[in-house]
Each structure stands twice: as C-alpha cells, then as structure tokens.
C-alpha cells in the first residue's frame, strides 16, 4: 500500500499566512509536525507554505570564502538570506514557489530515506496527472541544490526534495517552482557562487550553475499555472487519498507550546552557526 493512501490526512495551508514571516519559522513548523505526527499526537499532515523573496543558504554556502561580498548582492536584488542548520545547498523562495511538506510517522514501521523521497515523487506526479509520465527524478547537473531526486521535465528542473527526521516523524519537503522564470532564480544562485568563490579552490565542490537547465512548471506545461491553482490541487488530492474527511486547520494551543519550543531551538542554532562563521 502506498504511504499516501491513508484513512485520514490533516492539511495546514500557509501559502498566504507565512509569506511575510522568516523561513526559519517553517523549519520550526516542520520540526513540530515531526514531533506531533511521529509521537501520534497528530494524524499524518501535509503543509503548504510560501515565503517572500528569501535565499535559504546551506551550511556550506555560508562557508564560501567571499560570502560577505556575495550577500549584499542578493540583498540588493531584494532577497533576504537565512542559513538552515541542515544538509543541502542554496535554494530560492518567492511568491511563485510553493513548498509542500508531507509528514508521516514511523511508529508502525520505518520509512527508509529512498521510500520517503519516492512518496513525494508519487505525490507530485499525482498533482500533475497531465504531465505525470514526463516527470523524472534524477540529478540535474547545473541546477542549484542538485540531488538524486531533482524533479524535471525534458531535462529542466522544476523541483527539489529534502527530508527532516525527528522523534519518529519524517517530513519530506519539496519546493515547486510553479510560476515565473526558473532560469532567473538560477541566475541569482549563480551570482552567489561566482562572487562567493571568485575563482578560489575550496575543499567543498560547489555546483556550476547553468540557468537554462531550470524552469517553472508554468513554463514547462506551457500554461499560466499559479501557486493558488496548485494549492487547490493539493486539497483535492488529499481528499482522494483519504477515506475520511480531511482535517483542516493550524495548531491547537497545546501544539503551539511545542512549536514555540522548536522555534526557539531553530533560532538559537541559527544564531550560533552565524556567530561561528
């Protein structure tokens, strides 16, 4: 049975409400959901979220030899920057990028890492049945934050998948470039690495960004798809995957206490990491 075909799903939509908040809050949200779902304090959950212009840097990005010269260039382009305390490299968030988190529990049985990734690939294919057979999962060389489970159509990447594991909960996250220009986003990250490296040799190998290998879904599907359209598709898909009514809504007061704990932890870790340089 698919990990996605479940009796009941919970849906938390933050595609509008999270826009002006720091992306650090989204990391805290997913940590909280890992705890709640992993410990059976909540049913399996899907969360959608959008943040205004933000570049989320990985730890290795923050170690670029000329990072202090690169960050002002991103800020001049209108982007905030934050550093996430986990694996992966820089990604772009903006109003045309929809992030989806699927949070599952390992209490009934472990979900290995490939299985978590495959669940998200399956979910995305179900979201876009008209191009499902064209969506491939393999590393797109020249993309930003490259990985084995890059999602592409015709060799052009529109999504990347990551995972977070905590307290027997597994959060599988995807960023979907829905609207706008995928290559424009890639140029921002190319600038980050060109200015941040300035030709210096480093122990860590940073990607050589080729903007033409990235695109948005609206570009690839040749239709004016919006983040709102995809949000509706997510809700309809969850209804189809559930045998009971989908539970919709944010955190209860008790769950908010857990969230405040994880938010404080995320912010403190971020400050310590930035202080270490």
Burial of residue 28 (CB within 10 Å: 0-12, 13-18, 19+) is buried
Helix boundaries (H) for 87-137: 113-127
Give whole-number Cα distances, 8 to 33, 116, 147, 251, 272, in Å: 16, 19, 31, 17, 39
Pairing of strands 45-49, 10-14: parallel
Given the residues 34, 57, 135, 145, the one annotated as active site: 145
Exposure letters 189-209 (e unless 16+ CB within 10 A, then b) = bbebbbbbbeeeeeeeebbeb
> 219 with 181: CB under 8 angstroms?
yes
Residue with tokens 């857990």: 258
Residue with tokens 């998200």: 120
117: region left, alpha or beta (phi > 0 left; psi from -120 to 50 alpha): alpha
Distance (Å, whole) CA 255 – CA 89: 30
Q: What is the DSSP letter of 79?
A: -
Q: What is the DSSP letter of 21?
A: S
**Is residue 145 flagged as an active site residue?**
yes
200: region left, alpha or beta (phi > 0 left; psi from -120 to 50 alpha): beta
Q: Which residues are annotated as catalytic?
A: 145
């Amino acid at each position: 049975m698919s990990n996605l075909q479940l009796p009941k799903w919970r849906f938390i939509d933050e595609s509008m409400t999270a826009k002006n908040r720091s992306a650090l809050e989204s990391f805290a949200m997913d940590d909280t959901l890992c705890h709640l779902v992993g410990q059976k304090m909540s049913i399996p959950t899907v969360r959608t979220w959008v943040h205004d212009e933000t570049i989320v840097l990985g730890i290795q990005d923050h170690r670029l030899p000329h990072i202090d010269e690169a960050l002002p260039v991103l800020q001049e382009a209108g982007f905030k920057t934050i550093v996430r305390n986990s694996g992966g490299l820089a990604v772009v968030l903006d109003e045309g990028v929809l992030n989806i988190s699927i949070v599952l529990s390992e209490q009934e049985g472990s979900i290995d890492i490939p299985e978590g990734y495959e669940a998200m690939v399956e979910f995305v294919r179900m979201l876009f049945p008209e191009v499902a057979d064209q969506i491939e999962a393999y590393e797109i060389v020249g993309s930003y934050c490259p990985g084995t489970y890059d999602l592409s159509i015709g060799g052009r990447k529109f999504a990347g998948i990551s995972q977070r594991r905590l307290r027997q909960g597994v959060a599988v996250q995807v960023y979907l470039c829905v609207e706008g220009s995928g290559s424009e986003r890639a140029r921002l990250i190319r600038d980050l690495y060109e200015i941040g490296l300035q030709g210096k040799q480093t122990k860590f190998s940073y990607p050589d960004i080729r903007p033409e290998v990235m695109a948005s879904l609206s570009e690839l599907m040749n239709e004016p798809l919006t983040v709102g359209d995809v949000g509706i598709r997510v809700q309809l898909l969850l209804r189809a995957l559930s045998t009971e009514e989908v539970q919709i809504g944010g955190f209860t007061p008790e769950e908010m206490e857990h969230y405040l704990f994880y938010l404080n932890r995320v912010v403190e870790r971020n400050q310590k990491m930035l202080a270490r340089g």
